[in-house]
Amino acid sequence: MKSRSDLTRRAFLERAGALTGALALGACSSDLEGQGTNITTPPIPRDGGIDDNVDASPGEPVPIEEGTAAVAIVHRLDAEVAVRRAVQLAGGLPEIRPGDTVFIKTNAVHGVVAGRPGIVTSNEVIAAVVRVMRDLGAGHVTVGDRPARRHDSAPVLEATGQREAALAAGADEVYAAPRPSEDPDAWVLLQPPGFEETWAGLGGLLAMRRIVEADHFINLPVCKNHEWAVFSLSMKNLIGAIGDDSRNPMHYVRSRPDQLSRDIAILNGAFAPRLNILDARAALINGGPGGAGANAVRTLPGLVLASVDRLALDACGAALLKLELGRTPIPIPDAGHPFLVDCPPWACPQIRHGIEFGLGVDSPDKVELRFDNVADAERIEAIFRQPA
């Protein structure tokens, strides 16, 4: 993918500076993440697999019928086996050729994660994806993210263990994305359809140059709820692919997820992930996205999901979150809880707005869920296909 910007980053930053004083930054979820310290509910394990001794070899990629989408949902005790099988069921990665550059974007929202699974992409899944890229012959593999705005990138990637895990698995580089004010050339100004609704005053939004210019982009979110946006899955993970200044105008309002969800759909138009791999080995089902407060509740579904289609994947991730909420006590429901409980996956605002902007398929009827060794397959599928 190549840069599509005809505008200057410095012009963007000048406009951003002019707007900053008018923005209530303290109302943004990313400024609040990581401030809590108490965990009242430990992770609840699930017997998510039918038989973890089933054949561990991934096999040949399974083709996807044109005009449809497929979501792989895999349970294995070994993260790497699960990732390889999910990639295969999701159609494989035949586009990656020897020598190609690959950028793997994790979720590294903050570094307060010790003993708190489900906040950031797990190191086991990151390492597995890096090794898959190496086996495909990728010439340069980069792992990186831009965390929540109040955090510097390098310390977060260090504290989460993501840097060490990626390099040990064979990544060429771990990219601690700078703030646009620190390195304007690290960002490129883009104008995806609908950008004027939120970013007109800035002339567009800043996208991470390393992602835009990589030959292939792999999106590696984690499975969690979000008190402002209902859930944080593959679409929401791409907020970490835009600059701090571009996050400032977004509509973070408790109990009003629709406009923020629309912002998320619009910014997703700036990116085209080759594959989205959802780490749902742990799930943060309340208290997200920060997950370090007293209201945090997490379970351990033990799953890895994958799809080219962000809407299909996120609808399936939402179905999993709803399943977990339906069988788990939530002592302190957060602001997003009632929306996630009551909203069918395909009626959730991120999905609705994503359909409007053409980010993926527009109906569960066009999606095949490809389960492998998943005890809850029937329940996940039933929730996924609820009428919108």
Structural domain boundaries of the chain? 9-17+26-48+66-384
Distance CA(321)–CA(383), nearest Å, equals 10
- The whole model's pTM is what? 0.89
58, 87 contact by CB (below 8 A): yes
Mean pLDDT by 10 residues, the chain (388 residues): 40 43 32 31 61 62 94 97 98 97 97 91 98 97 96 96 98 98 98 98 98 98 97 98 96 90 98 98 96 95 98 98 97 96 98 98 98 97 96
- Alpha-carbon gap, residue 50 to 302, rounded angstroms: 12
Give yes or no for a contact between 272 and 361, defined as CB atoms under 8 angstroms apart.
Answer: no
Q: Are strands 222-226 and 173-176 parallel, antiparallel or unpaired?
A: unpaired
Task: Answer yes or no: are the C-beta atoms of 80 and 51 closer than 8 Å.
Answer: no
Predicted pLDDT of residue 32 = 28
Domain 9-17+26-48+66-384: which topology?
Answer: Rossmann fold (3.40.50)
pLDDT of the residue at 27? 32
Beta bridge partners of 306: 72, 277
Instruction: Give the contacts of 130 (CB within 8 A, at least 6 positions apart).
Output: 104, 141, 143, 166, 169, 170, 171
Would you state the pLDDT for residue 51?
A: 62
